[in-house]
Amino acid sequence: RKEVEQDPGPFNVPEGATVAFNCTYSNSASQSFFWYRQDCRKEPKLLMSVYSSGNEDGRFTAQLNRASQYISLLIRDSKLSDSATYLCVVSHGSSNTGKLIFGQGTTLQVKP
């Protein structure tokens, strides 16, 4: 079983839609949680960290449920430029400067 599981999708949504991605992790020792974005054939880029209290960055909202070992990402008012693969990432350390464990990624395609 993979340590970080995601639904690979693809999620095909129209512009302006709200879309949610989910992720589960199996190691309860995980301390830090992140969402990365990866465009086709490019390196992953940090989208946002995820905190237990939930956090928001513009149209993006991330939530963490430690009891259920579940992480989510909500994207509101989808733009064409949001089309990418979204990677759920966990770390056993206190930041993302150490070993990162990546999920398979969820592909989002936003259509006009």
Partner 1 sequence: GAVVSQHPSRVICKSGTSVKIECRSLDFQATTMFWYRQFPKQSLMLMATSNEGSKATYEQGVEKDKFLINHASLTLSTLTVTSAHPEDSSFYICSASGPPGLVEYEQYFGPGTRLTVT
Binding site for partner 1 (CB under 8 A): 2, 4, 8, 41-46, 87, 95-105
Output 26 or 95, the one with its CB closest to partner 1: 95
Cβ neighbours of residue 97 closer than 8 Å, sequence gap 6 or more: none
Taking the complex as a whole, the smallest distance from the CB of residue 77 to partner 1 amounts, in Å, to 26
Output 74 or 100, the one with its CB closest to partner 1: 100
The closest alpha carbon to 77, from 14, 11, 5, 6, belongs to 14
Which stretches does DSSP call E strand in 52-98?
Answer: 55-57, 60-65, 70-75, 84-91
Taking the complex as a whole, the smallest distance from the CB of residue 5 to partner 1 amounts, in Å, to 10
